[in-house]
Each structure stands twice: as C-alpha cells, then as structure tokens.
C-alpha cells in the first residue's frame, strides 16, 4: 500500500471522540512510518542533522504520564525541522501529520497546557539527530502511548518533572570535519604566535625602537 493511501487512512480514522479513536489514528500513522523507516533517506542528505531537545530518556518507565511531557518536547523537535523545510518538500505533509498526532496525544491530559506555559525548553540540553532518527524516536513514543490505558486518571494525572537532558556529543562526519578544521587552525595560530613572541624577545631595544622610526639606521 502506498504512503499517501496509508496517510489518508490514518487521518480518516481519527474522528472527534475519545481516547480509543485517537489510539486508532496513532496506530495507523505508526504503521505508516514503520512500513518505511528509511524513507527519509530519499529526501535528506547523509549529513543533515536536526538540533533539538528531545531525548528517549524522557519516556521514563516509572510513570505512565511521562508520555505527555515527552510528547511536548518531541513536538518542538519536529517544529525545529519543519521550519527549515519548504512546503513543497516531499515529506512536509507527513511531518505535519506527525505533529498533529503528537498534539492530539498532548491534549489528552489536562495538565499539559500548564506544562507548556511554565516549562522553559531552554533548560533542556540540545542534541543532534538525523530526520530518520527523529522518526524512530517518534515511533517509540507512539508505542508507549498505545500501551497507556484509556482511563479517566490519565486525563488528570500530574505530569512528572523531566530531568534536564545530558548534552550528547555530536561526532557526525560533518561535525568531525569541523572539529578537525578548528583544531588544525588553532595549532597554526599558536605556532605563529610563538614565532612572533620569540622574534620580539630576541631583538635588542635599539632594534625595536628602529621599527617605529622611519629614518632610523639611515646613513
């Protein structure tokens, strides 16, 4: 089944209703992205990375309501990617569908709006992921949501406090090249400074004074 048909099914399944209806829509769009996990490779280059604040550790195992604040951070991550894409991009509509699905999950809890208003996302460290990795993280969150019971307690549960994420070092090829270039440039600058320092310290005061007197040493 083609990707557009799967997307159409996922959207048509989600109607205004309860948690069960939303879960069916999540199940469909999850099947869409899981059916082609490497689909982003056809439209994004190998060295394309998204700087975002979501981490898989936000899906804590100790509290089922972790899925709601995690969805908020993940939605922001997709917003970061979408801002850099033209509307004509082949995956623009898919990313919009992912965002809408995350938003429906977020609205399933009454406390998420307050969480969005009071939480400064800047306190979470940034990391880099390829769009393909971001898609995998989204599938994992959808899986967690499908495991959550559709109960009244989930709509009112208090959201756990997410710990600040640990910044992940980026050793992607492009980043590695950048770090190497900076390191080489820094070494060259240090060598040049050393040569200048040795030259100045080896000159006699009279020689240094002549540098600033145009007729110094002239017959």
Report the range out of 52-56, 150-154, 162-166 with the highest average pLDDT. Answer: 52-56
Q: What is the pLDDT of residues 68-100, one digit of tens each?
A: 999 999 999 999 999 999 999 999 999 999 999
Among the listed residues 76, 32, 27, the one whose alpha carbon sits nearest the alpha carbon of residue 55: 76
pLDDT of res. 168: 47
The CATH number of whichever domain residue 49 belongs to comes to: 1.20.1250.80
Q: Looking at the structure, do residues 61 and 11 belong to the same domain, yes or no? A: yes
The tally of CA atoms less than 13 A away on the side-chain side of residue 36 is 14
**64/86 Cα distance (integer angstroms):** 36
pTM above 0.75, yes or no: no
For residue 65 the two structure tokens come to 């309501």
Average pLDDT of the segment spanning 51-68 = 93
Q: How many domains is the chain built from? A: 2
Q: Looking at the structure, do residues 177 and 152 belong to the same domain, yes or no? A: no
Strands 127-129, 50-52: pairing is: antiparallel
- 199, part of any domain: yes
- 21, part of any domain: yes
Q: Looking at the structure, do residues 96 and 147 belong to the same domain, yes or no? A: yes
Q: What is the pLDDT of residues 95-115, one digit of tens each?
A: 999 999 999 999 999 999 999
Q: Looking at the structure, do residues 86 and 189 belong to the same domain, yes or no? A: no
For residue 143 the two structure tokens come to 């899986």
Using a CB cutoff of 8 Å and minimum separation of 24, what contacts does 54-59 make?
54/127, 54/134, 54/137, 55/124, 55/127, 55/165, 55/166, 55/168, 56/137, 56/140, 57/163, 57/165, 58/162, 58/165, 59/140, 59/141, 59/144
Among the listed residues 19, 24, 109, 125, the one whose alpha carbon sits nearest the alpha carbon of residue 68: 109
> Residue 90 — φ and ψ, nearest 5°?
-60, -30
Answer for the pair 159, 68: CB distance below 8 angstroms, yes or no: yes
- 163, part of any domain: no
pLDDT of res. 215: 58
Q: Looking at the structure, do residues 80 and 182 belong to the same domain, yes or no? A: no
Q: Looking at the structure, do residues 81 and 112 belong to the same domain, yes or no? A: yes
Q: Enter the DSSP assignment of 59.
A: S
Mean pLDDT of all residues in the chain?
80
pLDDT of res. 100: 97
Q: Looking at the structure, do residues 191 and 97 belong to the same domain, yes or no? A: no
- 216, part of any domain: no
Q: Looking at the structure, do residues 88 and 184 belong to the same domain, yes or no? A: no
Q: Looking at the structure, do residues 152 and 203 belong to the same domain, yes or no? A: no
- Whole domain around residue 181: which residue ranges? 173-210
How deeply is 38 buried, as exposed, middle or buried, from its count of CB atoms within 10 A (0-12, 13-18, 19+)? exposed
Q: Looking at the structure, do residues 145 and 187 belong to the same domain, yes or no? A: no
For residue 212 the two structure tokens come to 């600033």
- 148, part of any domain: yes
Burial 58-89 (b: 16+ CB within 10 A, else e): bbbeeebbbbbbbbbbbbbbbeebbeeeeeee
Q: Looking at the structure, do residues 179 and 151 belong to the same domain, yes or no? A: no
- 219, part of any domain: no
Provide the 10 A C-beta neighbour count for residue 114: 11
pLDDT of res. 82: 97
- 183, part of any domain: yes
Q: Looking at the structure, do residues 109 and 186 belong to the same domain, yes or no? A: no
- 218, part of any domain: no
């Amino acid at each position: 089944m083609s990707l557009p048909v799967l997307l159409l099914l996922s959207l048509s399944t989600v109607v205004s209703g309860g948690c069960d209806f939303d879960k069916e829509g999540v199940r469909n769009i999850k099947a869409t992205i899981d059916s082609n996990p490497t689909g982003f490779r056809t439209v994004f280059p190998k060295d394309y990375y998204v700087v975002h604040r979501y981490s898989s550790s936000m899906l804590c195992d100790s509290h089922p309501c972790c899925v709601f604040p995690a969805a908020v951070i993940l939605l922001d991550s997709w917003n970061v990617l979408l801002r850099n894409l033209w509307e004509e991009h082949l995956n623009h509509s898919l990313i919009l569908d992912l965002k809408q699905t995350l938003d429906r999950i977020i609205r399933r809890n009454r406390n998420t709006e307050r969480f969005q208003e009071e939480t400064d996302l800047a306190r979470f460290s940034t990391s880099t992921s390829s769009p393909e990795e971001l898609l995998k993280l989204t599938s994992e969150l959808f899986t967690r949501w499908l495991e959550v019971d559709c109960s009244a307690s989930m709509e009112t549960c208090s959201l756990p406090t997410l710990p600040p994420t640990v910044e992940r070092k980026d050793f992607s090829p492009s980043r590695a090249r950048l770090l190497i270039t900076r390191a080489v440039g820094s070494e060259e600058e240090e060598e040049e400074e050393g040569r200048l320092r040795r030259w100045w310290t080896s000159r006699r005061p009279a020689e240094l004074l002549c540098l600033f007197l145009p007729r110094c040493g002239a017959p």
